[in-house]
Amino acid sequence: MKKALVKTDFNFPRQKSIYHGKVRDVYNINDEVLVMVATDRISAFDVILPEGIPYKGQMLNQIAAKFLDATTDICPNWKLATPDPMVTVGVQCQGFPVEMIVRGYLCGSAWRAYQSGVCEICGVKLPEGMRENQRFPEPIITPTTKAGIGEHDQDISKEEILAKGLVSEEDYEALEDYTMALFKRGTEIARERGLILVDTKYEFGHRDGKIYLIDEIHTPDSSRYFYSEGYEDRFAKGEPQKQLSKEFVREWLMKNGFQGKSGQKVPEMTPEIVEGISNRYIELFEHITGETFVKSETGNLLNRIEKNVIEYLQDK
């Protein structure tokens, strides 16, 4: 199995700070640009799992870059360049303290809540009598707070966001419009590839009075996909959908008694489990991009990334 990159601690020219997220390490360069390194870390239930997944960072970075480029006509985004397969450099923005989650189908955590009797999510009333994996009449937006280190994202309604002053009404209307338009574009691209974009999340920031789409977009870490072929038949029979997303990791964890709750222990991630997860990510990459995944050299990832980033920054 190839080497996985789970930690970075670079010191780039003009670097002012570093932020280690769940899966990305973000370097602030002179309060002007960010260098975002997509590591091979993997998280579930807001917990970073003990083993990295080879090539995961490369796949996420390249999928996100492709979709950022494919949506510039809808919304300005932060991306400036991808100097390394695992790195995106972009404009530094002040992030809005909410994540915009949009759902086209009832599944995952929303289904688990609905099944337990919850009939309203984030202020959005759900139709009665829905079944797992059923399509909503129209996509719904169910925002969450943007969690800090060691915290969990919390569902929040539009009304609460505005009442707390987290986002101005004018900006929130723009975020909703951007979210729906991006989801529509992602749905169209997925359909061309034989996939259904089930749900996803978008993060936005602002700089100099302008709103930008930031972070990743339409990756398996931020999105859930079903295969179009066989969806209706499986739904009619009440069978699980064939899907490409990180949900299979969550399901494996739940099957082995872990949901991120206090006192629970992450099950052993054997080399076979790790390789299986890596292969599933590659499968999604190739389906959603329509391209063959080309594995980058993993012999000395840190040196390669450092060299590529420094060369890029020196040219600017």
| Structural domain harbouring 221 | 95-245
pLDDT at 146: 82
Mark which of 230, 245, 260 sits at the end of a domain.
245
In a domain, 225, yes or no: yes
CATH label of the domain that carries residue 58: 3.30.200.20
If asked whether residues 54 and 133 sit together in one domain, one would say no
pLDDT at 132 over 80: yes
If asked whether residues 203 and 185 sit together in one domain, one would say yes
pLDDT at 178: 98
If asked whether residues 201 and 138 sit together in one domain, one would say yes
Average pLDDT, the chain: 93
pLDDT at 250: 87
Of the pLDDT bands very low, low, confident and very high (cuts 50, 70, 90), residue 152 is low
Name the burial class of residue 103, with classes exposed (0-12), middle (13-18) and buried (19+) by CB atoms within 10 angstroms of its CB: buried
In a domain, 71, yes or no: yes
pLDDT at 1 over 70: no
If asked whether residues 215 and 276 sit together in one domain, one would say no
pLDDT at 151 over 60: no
In a domain, 264, yes or no: no
If asked whether residues 125 and 198 sit together in one domain, one would say yes
CA distance 38 to 46: 17
Residues 179, 144: contact at Cβ < 8 Å?
no
Kindly report the number of other CB atoms within 10 A of residue 3's CB atom. 13
If asked whether residues 179 and 300 sit together in one domain, one would say no
In a domain, 297, yes or no: yes
pLDDT tens, 253-310?
A: 999 999 989 899 999 999 999 999 999 889 889 988 999 999 998 888 999 999 999 9
If asked whether residues 180 and 239 sit together in one domain, one would say yes
pLDDT tens, 187-240?
A: 999 999 999 999 999 999 999 999 999 999 998 888 999 999 999 999 999 999
Residues 139, 180: contact at Cβ < 8 Å?
yes
If asked whether residues 123 and 240 sit together in one domain, one would say yes
If asked whether residues 84 and 112 sit together in one domain, one would say no
- 80 or 316, greater pLDDT: 80
Mark which of 245, 280, 304 sits at the end of a domain.
245
Q: First vs last Cα of the chain: how many Å apart?
A: 37
In a domain, 256, yes or no: no
Name the burial class of residue 267, with classes exposed (0-12), middle (13-18) and buried (19+) by CB atoms within 10 angstroms of its CB: middle
pLDDT at 148: 58
In a domain, 236, yes or no: yes
In a domain, 261, yes or no: no
Indicate the number of domains in the chain: 2
pTM for the full predicted model: 0.89
If asked whether residues 119 and 238 sit together in one domain, one would say yes
Which amino acid belongs to residue 231? Y
Mark which of 227, 245, 263 sits at the end of a domain.
245
If asked whether residues 218 and 124 sit together in one domain, one would say yes
pLDDT at 245: 74
In a domain, 118, yes or no: yes
In order of 59, 64, 98, 267, 276, the CA distances from 270 in angstroms are: 21, 28, 35, 9, 10
pLDDT at 32 over 90: yes
Across 135-148, b (16+ Cβ under 10 Å) vs e yields ebeebbbbbbbeee
If asked whether residues 75 and 106 sit together in one domain, one would say no
pLDDT at 150 over 60: no
CATH label of the domain that carries residue 166: 3.30.470.20
